[in-house]
Copies of this chain bind each other. A is one copy, B any other.
Amino acid sequence: MARQILGADTVMHAAPPLEGDVHLPLYRRLYETFARRIAAGDWKPGDGLPAETGLAKIYRIAPGTVRRALDDLALNGLVERRHGLGTFVRRPNFDNAMLRFFRFRDKDGNAFLPESRIVSRKLVSTPPKVARQLGLTDPLVIKMVRHRLWDGVPRLVEDIFLPQDRFKPLLSVSEEMIGPLLYPAYEQLCGQVVFAIEEDISIADVTVDDAADLGLQTGDLTVSVERIARNATATPIEWRISRGEARRFRYQLTSGQGD
């Protein structure tokens, strides 16, 4: 075989390697590659990605294929495309999502940000359910208990579990540093960004502890919302369970599939 000879004016740039199995479609491997760069904080929320044509040259892949990967990222909410401007990493805001579930409004009927009170933060031994949901082998996990208050009255009680390898800084900062919204705190203090959530909603009799915290009586019902939060590569990074009074529950849903 003849060795290839390059002229002095010919420069070979090696294309960067792609994530994922070689048998996967190129657009899928590009998607994974970009998602990892976002999850790793290489591209941060608000950042603009290189233009399609630039990415196509860098990775030596046709623009149409790059485009498909970017469109899929946009479809999954990881980036936002702005015509004439560019493609930008999204900054999702799930922290208020619970407000969609419960009818907590001020006198004028507007939703508003409830007060947040972190009741405890500590390392505990990992409950089996938490280990399963987060895919953890670590015997210890960070547990935070948070109350959310409307008009000074606790309306939601939340148990929040976080892997200590990702969230250690949360244990040492003051509550003021964390603030009323957790996901921005995760991002700023720990570099962890939530891009998708799954929730499981059910109704049960109030527990003794919750009745005391929420000012309910034995026999009252609570809605409990269990949530798994995932980063850009779909790795679970938070599990929480929130409870509130059932009568205040409300939810809206759109479905295009009938499985």
A interface residue numbers (CB < 8 A to B): 76-77, 92-94, 97, 194-204, 221, 223, 246-247, 249-259
Contact = CB atoms under 8 A, between A and B. Distances in A.
B256 A253 contact: no
Contacts of A202: 249-251
B201 A250 contact: yes
Given A221-B246, A246-B221, A253 B77 contact: no
A195 B197 CA distance: 25
Contacts of A255: 94, 97, 196-199
Given A221-B246, A246-B221, A201 B258 contact: no
A198 B258 CA distance: 12
A257 B78 CA distance: 9
B258 A93 contact: yes
B253 A195 contact: no
A249 B202 CA distance: 6
Contacts of A258: 77, 92-94, 97, 194, 197
A207 to B, nearest CB: 15
B198 A221 contact: no
Contacts of A204: 247
A201 to B, nearest CB: 4
Given A199-B253, A199-B254, 19 more contacts: A77-B256, A94-B255, A97-B255, A197-B258, A198-B252, A198-B253, A198-B254, A199-B252, A199-B255, A200-B251, A200-B253, A201-B250, A202-B249, A203-B221, A203-B246, A203-B250, A204-B247, A221-B246, A221-B247
Nearest to A103: B202
A256 B200 contact: no
Given A257-B77, A258-B97, A249 B203 contact: yes
Contacts of A247: 203-204, 221
A249 B222 CA distance: 11
Contacts of A259: 93
